[in-house]
Structures are given as C-alpha cells and as structure tokens.
Structure 1
C-alpha cells in the first residue's frame, strides 16, 4: 500500500442481495467484525404492494419472548433459552482461551460460534417481524428505545446483544418501512413495564417478574410485556407526546400525578379501586416506594 494511491478491492457476489428487486446505490458500508473488514454495497429495495389492516401496533421488545404486542401476541418464546445456550458455549470458549493465553480473535471456535450467534439473531429478528407484519399488517409500528439486556446472561452476551441485536432490529424496521411503507414511531419506555395499562397506577411491585404483571391498585393481571406494549401504544398518541421527551424522573412524577387525578371522587376517569379513594391512599398509594421521592405529591394527595 502506498499513501495517496488508490487500491482496487474486488467484492464477492451476494446471491441474496442480487435476487432482491431494487436499485444499487453508489456508496458502500465499511465495518469490522471479528478483526475482519466487511465491505457491503448498498441496494435500495423496491416497494411491495401493501394494504394495512391495523392502524397502529405497539411492540415491546424483550428476550422472553423477544416480541410482545398490545394485541396479546407473544413471539419468540424460546429466544432467551437459545441465547443462554449460545452464552454458555461462548463463555466456555473464552475461559479456555484465557487459560491458554490466546486472544479470542485467534481462536477459530470462537469466531465460528460468534458467526452462528449473529446468524441466529438476524434470522430470528427477521422471521418474527415478518410474522408480525403477516399477522396484523400495521400502518404504524410503535416501538420503545431498544435496549436488549438480561440479568440471566453474561456481560459479554449482553454487550453482544446490545451491539448486534439492536442493529439487526433497527435494520429490519428500516427495511419494513422501505418495502411496505410502514412508519416506525419510537416512544419513551420509562416505567412502561411498571405502569398498569388499565388504570395507570405506577408501582415497582406491579411487575412480579419478567412474565407476570399484577396491579396493586385495580388488581389487573396479565403478561408483563403485553401490558408494557399497551402502555407504549397509549404513549404514541398526540395527547401523550409529552412523555416522549420528558426526563425519567419527571415522567414518573407526571404518571403518578395523572393517576392521582383519575382516582379523585367524581372524576370521570376514576379507575375501579376497591374501597374508593381513602382505601387506595391507605392501602396502596401510601405504600408506594416511589412516593418517597415526591413528598410534596404525597402531602397534596393526603
């Protein structure tokens, strides 16, 4: 290589990209994976005929399952289990390489396992989002700010998920927009997993575990991710748009205040809380750990 002189780099064929209808663009993507430079030519895909059947569909992205919707769909229920198997394999290889004093980039087994993991992530993301479009044909997809992590996985796997999983999700969502004209709306997910989609009550005790949601105020029970997806759907509406750009602490204050206003006697938005407002304050509201950070709000309601 000589500084200032052009270098011709031949590119291999990509049968998948060659087989898709569209127009090749005059630029390339250059990246690095496992110590190897990856160069990809960009192709703009031709739009496909598409008739939406659902005006707006909200999606909660998790790991068990990977996707839950406000309609109650649970897609990718075995995703976390399969990820854990990859995690165990990769951790075993990494520990052995460390004992032997080898760099992971020089371990063929590690590169092969990483390639299979990336292929699995990409295939699952594409398959499940395609399934979602086939089921509901949404005009708008409402999603949260993507954050794929789990305490059940190693730090290494969570880092890989954050990098590759999030990238594949964003790429697929962009492709759905390009192919079908599906608009993607991103909303603030703050406390969506702890807020009741029925009455609006926010409490960390509402979410029993990754699967179970039980509202401390109105008793609503359901799948935790489906409940979160329904909250995301509500936040995508114009009247809720303030939440999108509100800092997390102020979002919590706003949600608590809105619940309090709805629970007042005579309010047309009042949720069905057993025992009325006094019981809610004594049995539920007064015990809410979040109110310790908002004593002024607690005094106002008291």
Structure 2
C-alpha cells in the first residue's frame, strides 16, 4: 500500500470577502491554486467582532457545492428557496448550488470568538444545472471517534477504525465521494487513514504542526498551510511537539474544464454568460 507524501505547500494569505469578513485563503487564491475538484478553502478565525460582524449578505452561486464547518460561534443561513439554518459550533452546512441559489450567512453574535472554514467542491458538468439543495448538519449528527492519542470528527465519507470497520459521516452519496475529517492529536501522536487511489487529497492544520509521510517521518506542515498530497492509498501523519488539529479533505477529481466568474463556476464561458444573464433577469434558480 503506497503511503502519500507531502507534494506541495500552499500558504494561506489574508483576504476579505462578503461584506468585509477577514479570513485566510489557501486553495483558490488564483485559478492556478485549485485542486480538482476543490475550488477554494477559507479559514475565518477572530475574537474581534469587527472582523466578522458584517457577515456574508445575500449573494448568488451556480455550478458547485459550498461547505461551511464551525469550530466556534454561530451563523444563520437563509436562501431565496426558503431554507433557513442555524450553523453552530461543531456543526456544518452542505449546500449544493446546482442551477442557482441566492443565500446569506450572517453571524448570530456581536462579540466572542468566531472560527470556522468554508470550502467549495466543483460539480460535474452533468450536475451543474440540477436543483439546488441545502442540508443543515447539527453537531450531534457528526460522529466523534476516539483514536489513539486524540479524536476525529467524521463529516463526510468514512473513518477507518482499528477493527477494520469504518465509521461513516452524515454526508454520503455525492458523485465526487468526498472525505472530510477533523482530526485532533496530542503531541507526537500518529494518525493513519486510507484514501481511494486516484482521489485528490490535502491536509490543512489549523493548530500545531504535522509531519507527513510514512511513520510521520516526512516533511513538516505548519498551521494555516494547505499540504497537497502525492498519489497513494494511505495517509500517515504525526503531530508536532505542540500537538495538531487539522482537516483532511479528499475527493474524486472531475478532469473537466473550469471557468469561474466570482460565485459562478461552469465549464464554458458561454455558460458563465448565461448564469449572469439569468441572475440579472431574476431567473437564476
């Protein structure tokens, strides 16, 4: 079984999005820093309400999926299709924009810590115009599994367990077969997970550091860096001396053209022009 190594590091950079929310972006800084089928990864983390209070007022999407995962704080989701959700610490939302959705994500707090992530996963061409969908995933729906020296929250896909079985997360049945784990390890502890051969995979430590490779003896990945992994069937990491908390994300690549204009991600320029025309005419969905 081939163990994946750390192939490339994408440092996150400070950016502002929505109505002025301060965050750090790794994947998606430019068209050259995507990772098929992942289009973007943002981390927002602040104790200062001025950094997040303006939130993400109503805005459109078409052609991909957005995933928001919270570690601390509260957001409210609303969209023009009538969905409404309370995104709280330990919970997530999985939104399929499909042919079109206009939504907002606004903080339900005016003080305290807000810490979370949003990433975008592309949809295959045959699914870009399917009806939009939304799922609000509460913390109690996400399994928390004890592993040697730490714990893992399983949001999508399944976690390998010590007895050879697997622990599934609430998100299943998506064409890109995403794996989304939130792993927390103590100092020097090891973690291993199988990943389908041919699937794209990367790590994002949000606290501490990781040594990536067989027996954790490979390259070091620091907090707030996206670590792109080589091909292989298994991931092995070791936490640094301060421990580590990190996201493990993997999915089946699409191998299709990507044409993006802001919140619209399609396969051709003509499809982007149609998305803009539909939005302007009030016919996005």
Give the structure with the higher percent helix: 1
Larger Rg belongs to:
1
Q: TM above 0.5, one fold?
A: no
Coarse TM-score class (shorter-chain normalised) = under 0.3
The TM-score normalised by the length of structure 2 is 0.24
Structure scoring higher RCO (CA < 8 A, sep ≥ 6) equals 2
Give the structure with the higher percent strand: 2
The TM-score normalised by the length of structure 1 is 0.23
